Structure 1
Amino acid sequence: MFSVKRAGPAKVSASELVSVSLKTLIDLARPAAGLNLKHSAIRAGQSGGYLSRFKGRGMEFEEARGYQPGDDIRSIDWRVTARTGETHTKVFREERERPVFISVDNRPAMHFATRGVFKSVLAAKLAGLLAWAAQHHGDRIGGQLFTEVVCRELKPQNGKHAVLRFLNAITSQEDLNRADPSVITLEHALSRLMHHARPGSLVYIISDFRGVNDQVENHLAKLSRHCEVVLIFVYDSLESHLPEKGRYRFIASDVAGLSGTGAATGDRRDVVIDTGDRQRLLKYHQHFAQRLQQLEQIAKKMGLAFIQCSTTDDPIQRLR
């Protein structure tokens, strides 16, 4: 966790910057009413531009019946056709309530900011807004919350009580200190997500996406085949761009958040960064740019919606 030692005119309490209360998330119900949960997904590279992949409610298979003139040939059930010798068409029915599944990253690197609020606070507010918006649209709300030691899923349910259950899980500290011999990575969380988000779901993944690798990309590819997926990348301005020419002192309890600075994880202490080292500064900027480019390429290749949100951004405006 970091904070820059500088004086400022803001009178916001420290607790509001580093943690989020249940009341704060409940109060997001009204502004969330204006969100429509429709996003632009990035087309494949050869297509260019943007394309909306959100088609409303999910569709559930109901039956296979004999082909009738006017049926879409793309809906032909080839297995049944081959078995019976007669052309059959798949019939789908519209789901009354679409499952909305929100995955929230709460690993140590999310507890960090130099401006605005902690990434973890921003992620919680984004999740709260999306949950309330889904409830306003009559959708079912479920989610996944994961730290470095705990990964918990909530089955989608409808109604206000489902939102409150989800928000309470975000703000609750229970089970966070439960011993676990394994460290939960982004890869592990997405592997579980694939088994809990049912086909036709609208899936949001809110994270700083540390630990993206080939397996993470494979999990996203499999998830996107049956679900509408939105990646929300949260970051602090210091992660994207260090100030030039100067020595800056930070208060750190987990300096792993300053990846690329040469600092090592340790107890709470001051960390001094000399940005006059041009080589280190360039390496640091390239590290962030490569992670951002990797996420954009994944979204583009799979046709996923991709949203960037800084710790100083208004989450309501970013979602709009």
Structure 2
Amino acid sequence: MILPDIAELVTLRGAAHGLSLHAHRPALARLQGGHRSAQRGRGLEFEEVRLYAPGDDARNIDWRVTARRGQLHTKLFREERERPVWLVVDLHPGLFFGSRHQLKSALLLRSAALLAWVATLGGDRLGAIIANDEGLPVIFPPRAREAGVLPVLQALIDAQPREPGETNKNGLKDTLNSLQPLLQPGSLVLILSDFSDVDEQVEITLSGMSFHNDCRLLWLVDPIESAGLPAGNYRVGTPGRLWWLDGELSRSVWQKKWAAREQRLNEISQRLNLPLTRLHTQNQVADSLPPLLREPTWST
């Protein structure tokens, strides 16, 4: 399978035109159902007062101006116009796997690149924090325009795994803990991960982060993870730890373990009111992500 290079990630800029991360009801929540993650941050700098529009936060209504002019008016804050958008990239050797079209690591890079371009073209400041097996996560503070995108894309290329390896059991936890003190209220946090190491501590951290920020979970999955291996004998594992596995005999246990993992992540998503979207290795990123990033038309 072909690994993404910087030229491919830059080319995704074209696919980002016409897409938005500013939907009043987060579009990424559609695949998970009706629950949503409202952006709770109110911003730090007052910008202006304008007429209230459907979808505006009722907490920002300016009642003095409303009473004086006889029409609802709402306050706008600078954070709402140029908010920090953080990419949380849980990149580890365990993602060097894929049974359809692309590796999970490649899917992560392509998805992160497209989201980065969407954020930047929408006027947001892009920041990123990339898990690193060699030490502390690599951090890119939020920056505007291409100056905020290109260094992130290059870091993703440099960090992508090039051979199978063990999953970093603390990678997501360490990355979220490193990000938490850097967040400004009202930030958008996009977490790209296979969520293989979600535990109680990760849930606690997500709960704290989502209180004043819009957090969204993007789950990298491959069809074989939920279906199990086809009939036959397969050599599985990581270099130095390989064994033979009977696909038919192992399928029941395999599917039960996956169902438990799926249930746990769904419960966390619903409990914390975090939109959860699956990104599948069999789908091209330029085809699967754009429908989730367009303003939906909601019936009342």
TM-score by length of 1: 0.71
Q: 2:240: which partner in 1?
A: 267
Letter in 2 for 1:32: A
Correspondence list, 1:21-40, <5 A: 21-37=5-21, 38=23, 39-40=26-27
SS in 1 for 2:276: strand
- CA distance in structure 2 between the partners assigned to 1:145 and 1:208 by the alignment: 14
Residue of structure 2 in register with 1:235 after alignment: 221
The separation in 2 between residues aligned to 1:193 and 1:139, in whole angstroms, is 18
Greater fraction strand? 1
Q: Is the 8 A contact 1:40 1:50 kept in 2?
A: no
Aligned match of 2:155 in 166, 169, 177? 169
Shift of 1:73: 10
How many pairs are equivalent? 255
Cα distance in 1 for residues equivalent to 2:83 and 2:15:
21
| Structure 2 residue 271 is the aligned partner of structure 1 residue 286 | no
**Identity, % of aligned positions:** 30
Verify the 8 A CA contact 1:148 1:183 in the aligned structure 2.
Answer: no
Secondary structure of residue in 1 paired with 2:267: helix
Whole-angstrom CA distance in 2 between matches of 1:210 and 1:157: 30
Give the deviation of 1:117 after TM superposition.
0.9
Letter in 2 for 1:133: V
Match of 2:42 in 1: 59
CA 1:248 to 1:191, structure 2 compared with 1: closer, same or farther past 3 Å? same
> What is the distance in 1 between the residues matched to 2:179 and 2:96?
22
Q: Distance in 1 between matches of 2:205 and 2:259?
A: 23
Quick check: 1:42–1:303 contact (8 Å CA) kept in 2? no
Q: State the match for 2:78 in structure 1.
A: 94
Paired residue type of 2:14: R
8 Å Cα contact 1:59-1:94 kept in structure 2: no
Pairs within 5 Å for 1:1-320:
14=1, 16=2, 19-37=3-21, 38=23, 39-40=26-27, 50-53=34-37, 59-62=42-45, 93-95=77-79, 96-150=81-135, 151-173=137-159, 184-244=170-230, 246-250=231-235, 255=237, 265-267=238-240, 271-277=243-249, 280-319=250-289, 320=291
| 1:60 to 1:121, Cα distance in 2 relative to 1, 3 A | same
Maintained 8 Å contact 2:100/2:281: yes
The answer to whether the 8 A contact 1:101-1:143 is kept is yes
Q: Report the residue type matching 1:59 in the other structure.
A: R
1:127/1:74 CA distance change after superposition, 3 Å: closer
| 2-structure distance, mates of 1:35, 1:41 | 12
Structure 2 unaligned spans of 5+: 47-56, 62-74, 163-167, 292-300
**What are the superposed Cα offsets for residues 203-256 of structure 1, whole Å, 9 maximum, x if unpaired?**
101010111100000000001001101100001212111244x21435x6xx2x
Q: Which runs of 5+ in 1 are unaligned?
A: 1-13, 64-71, 77-90, 177-181, 256-264
2:148 maps to amino acid: A
Secondary structure, aligned partner of 2:219: strand
Amino acid corresponding to residue 286 of structure 1 in structure 2: K
Based on CA coordinates, which of the two structures has the bigger radius of gyration? 1
Distance 1:268 1:74, change over 3 A: closer
Deviation of 1:103 (Å): 0.9
How far residue 34 of structure 1 moved from its aligned partner, in angstroms, is 3.0
Map of 1:8 onto structure 2? none
Question: If each structure's helix is expressed as a fraction of its own residues, which one has the higher value?
Answer: 2
Deviation by residue 1:187-207 (Cα, 9 ceiling, x = unmatched): 111111212232111110101
Q: Distance in 1 between matches of 2:33 and 2:127?
A: 31
Q: What's the CA shift for 1:32?
A: 1.3
Residue 288 of structure 1 aligns to a residue whose secondary structure is: helix
Q: Which has the higher contact order (CA 8 A, sep 6+)?
A: 2
